[in-house]
Structure 1
Amino acid sequence: MSMNLAYTVFRPETEVKAALFIIHGMQEHKERYTPFAKYLNEQGIGVVTYDLPGHGETSKGSERGWFGDHDGWNNLVLSAVEIAQLTRKEFPDVPLVCFGHSMGTMIGRCFLQRYDSLIDAAIFSGAPAYVGAARAGVALANAISAIRGKKGHSKTLDKLATGSFSKAVKNPRTPLDWLSVNTENVDRYIADPDCGFPFTCRGYHDLFAGMVQMNNVSLYRCTKPELPVYFFAGEEDPCIGGEKGFTSSVETIRKAGYSRIDTKLYPGLRHETLNEKENAAVMADVSAWIFAHI
């Protein structure tokens, strides 16, 4: 593959009815989606997972949290394009679904802007809401990069990106309790050396620039207005910006021209619904939605 992306193909033992590729979130990796991929295989859905640039196995031998000296966000989007094409090749002649989680939904939404013709449905899990501070984040990341270098690190940028989320949980056991009500999942994340690493200064610049881009309705070409889109999240996920932020994310896609949009909020769950103890119901809902819309 031209971008040297680390990826895994999960092939159903039975007839392949659909295919899906997963764009994971920030500061994590593809292996965390193996149980979900295996579940989808049991439903007849072929799956490809991959590590984004600057993450997991793809980042081996290079800088983690680094997506490129210039246009890093576009590199992330192009990685999804490459995986979409690979998934289509691995599972030809069946509907293709783009699945993104968290930052992966930001990449997925920017993917829709130019490449919706490559897919037949899109699913967004725990989609971050647009925040006005994103533009200031771009400027701040540039300023700090000028001092510390693009590959430098900044706790200020760390906090700007995700620092407020822990405040949404009353009496948190750890600073990462916002990820999940499931304490075992939180502990696994904390213990995983390939999770929770900081982005570089330039990486945070790209993240904030991506948030600005995903919210720009004028950039969506919307060549497939009938494309089915599904947003779901935990109701207690601070990343989605509450019901108001969740609705805003959905409405941006609607304003872009997509008319077949479904949503679901899970009471009592947080950011990583696929890793909550109630994940069996969440995965079943995803599978049911896919087969109802392809």
Structure 2
Amino acid sequence: MALYEIEFTSHNDRDTIFGWLHTPTTEPHAVVHIIHGLGEHSRRYLHLITALLDAGFAVVADDHSGHGRTAMQSGIWVDAGDEAARVVVADELTLQRKAREILPDLPYVVFGHSWGSMIARVMASDPASRLDGLALCGVAAQMRGIDQTIDRDELAEAATGDRRAEPAAEHLVGQLFDGFIERFGPDAGPTAWVALDDDVVADHGRDPFNNFGAPMSARFLQGFVDVYDAANADDWYQTIPTGLPVLILAGDQDPVANYGEGAYHVANRLRTTGHSDVRTRVFTGVRHEVHNEPTTRDEAEAETVDFATRVTARQ
């Protein structure tokens, strides 16, 4: 298996984005582009990457601005500069372009998890992306903290002021995660929503490239909300080609997906706006990372591989 290291300057004109293009031992028949979630990094997807490589796909992924190796090198965590919503989407389009320079003329599928599902949806609405399939895992939709709780006026003021690069107020960050652990009992830890399996949660917490507890800047928090709003806007559905196949994966105990209801909401809206090729799988009893939960990982990977195989085979 060949590995290409990809580096480029972020659209914030500050960070060097670090990415990797994995290729299988055989000639790849398509590219799958993985977009990771908030507070994590792309190597947390190595199990999925391996499954895709074994199925003959090339896989490209990077560590976003303020995350993973990119943040390790810059020393700046959970901040993507001004206009963070624009930056993170533009960076993924740049990564896509660089992957296509190495492997031109191949079908292209994007897989986005959580925050990555938001970035992926906005990316898919850009005609330059020219996608053959869109997979949304841990889909962020109907999040109470963003839709109902967060003080948008206070956040907007903080994100545009002179201290916008400084950590956001703790109560604003708390509002973002409103209700995330309320179903999981009085002894639930702050990241219990990540997974049902204790080992997955522990691994998430001790991973030095995650740094999930790092304070996010006010402008990053605003950018996060902005990407969420763009991905969940009523007019987003009209920006997606009706022929684009979509796969949606979630757990029915995942607050990011409103306990599965957000996944069905996105799927139903796609169907009512003329998108006929939409498959939705909501796994029973599990939380956010259905692709990492021991009880659902194999099935989630199989769904992803089967989807990517089907939508690229017709090219």
Fold similarity call, TM over 0.5: yes
8 Å contact from structure 1 (residues 142, 205) kept in 2: yes
Aligned residue number for residue 92 of structure 1: 104
Aligned residue number for residue 187 of structure 1: 202
SS of residue matched to 1:166? coil
Instruction: Provide the rounded CA distance (Å) in 2 between the counterparts of 1:243 and 1:7.
Output: 31
Deviation readout 1:75-126 (Å, 9 max, x if unpaired) = 1111111122122223323211001000001111111222365211000000
SS of residue matched to 1:50? strand
Instruction: Provide the rounded CA distance (Å) in 1 between the counterparts of 2:270 and 2:162.
Output: 37
Aligned residue number for residue 55 of structure 1: 67
Q: CA deviation at 1:252?
A: 3.9
Deviation readout 1:237-261 (Å, 9 max, x if unpaired) = 1110134322222234445553321
Q: Equivalent pairs: percent with the same residue?
A: 24
8 Å contact from structure 1 (residues 138, 208) kept in 2: no
8 Å contact from structure 2 (residues 139, 262) kept in 1: no
Aligned residue number for residue 303 of structure 2: 285
SS of residue matched to 2:135? strand
Q: CA deviation at 1:220?
A: 5.3
What TM-score do you get using the length of structure 2 for normalisation?
A: 0.85
Sort the Cα spacing of 1:15 and 1:141 in 2 relative to 1 into closer, same or farther, 3 A: same
Aligned residue number for residue 160 of structure 1: 175
8 Å contact from structure 1 (residues 127, 240) kept in 2: yes
Q: Residue 254 of structure 2: which of 237, 245, 270 is its match?
A: 237
SS of residue matched to 1:99? strand
Report the AA paired with residue 197 of structure 2.
N
1:1-294 equivalences under 5 Å are 1-3=8-10, 4-59=16-71, 60-69=73-82, 71-115=83-127, 117-131=129-143, 134=146, 136-145=150-159, 149-153=163-167, 154-195=169-210, 196=212, 197-219=214-236, 222=239, 224-254=241-271, 257-278=274-295, 279-294=297-312
Q: CA deviation at 1:133?
A: 5.6
8 Å contact from structure 1 (residues 9, 49) kept in 2: yes
Report the AA paired with residue 224 of structure 2.
L
SS of residue matched to 2:224? helix
37-46 or 146-155: bigger deviation: 146-155
8 Å contact from structure 2 (residues 137, 250) kept in 1: yes
238-247 or 97-106: bigger deviation: 238-247
8 Å contact from structure 2 (residues 17, 65) kept in 1: yes
Instruction: Provide the rounded CA distance (Å) in 2 between the counterparts of 1:252 and 1:58.
Output: 35
Q: CA deviation at 1:227?
A: 0.7
SS of residue matched to 1:94? coil
Instruction: Provide the rounded CA distance (Å) in 1 between the counterparts of 2:99 and 2:302.
Output: 22
Instruction: Provide the rounded CA distance (Å) in 1 between the counterparts of 2:165 and 2:50.
Output: 36
Q: Which has the higher helix share?
A: 1
Report the AA paired with residue 134 of structure 1.
I
Q: Which runs of 5+ in 2 are unaligned?
A: 1-7, 11-15
8 Å contact from structure 1 (residues 130, 249) kept in 2: no
Instruction: Provide the rounded CA distance (Å) in 2 between the counterparts of 1:65 and 1:225.
Output: 34
SS of residue matched to 1:8? strand
Q: CA deviation at 1:226?
A: 0.4
Report the AA paired with residue 47 of structure 1.
V
Sort the Cα spacing of 1:112 and 1:146 in 2 relative to 1 into closer, same or farther, 3 A: closer
Sort the Cα spacing of 1:172 and 1:251 in 2 relative to 1 into closer, same or farther, 3 A: farther
What TM-score do you get using the length of structure 1 for normalisation?
A: 0.91
SS of residue matched to 1:6? strand
Instruction: Provide the rounded CA distance (Å) in 1 between the counterparts of 2:108 and 2:54.
Output: 17
8 Å contact from structure 2 (residues 117, 136) kept in 1: yes
73-82 or 83-92: bigger deviation: 83-92
Q: How many residues align?
A: 293
8 Å contact from structure 2 (residues 181, 188) kept in 1: no
17-26 or 108-117: bigger deviation: 108-117
8 Å contact from structure 2 (residues 143, 255) kept in 1: no
8 Å contact from structure 1 (residues 16, 46) kept in 2: yes
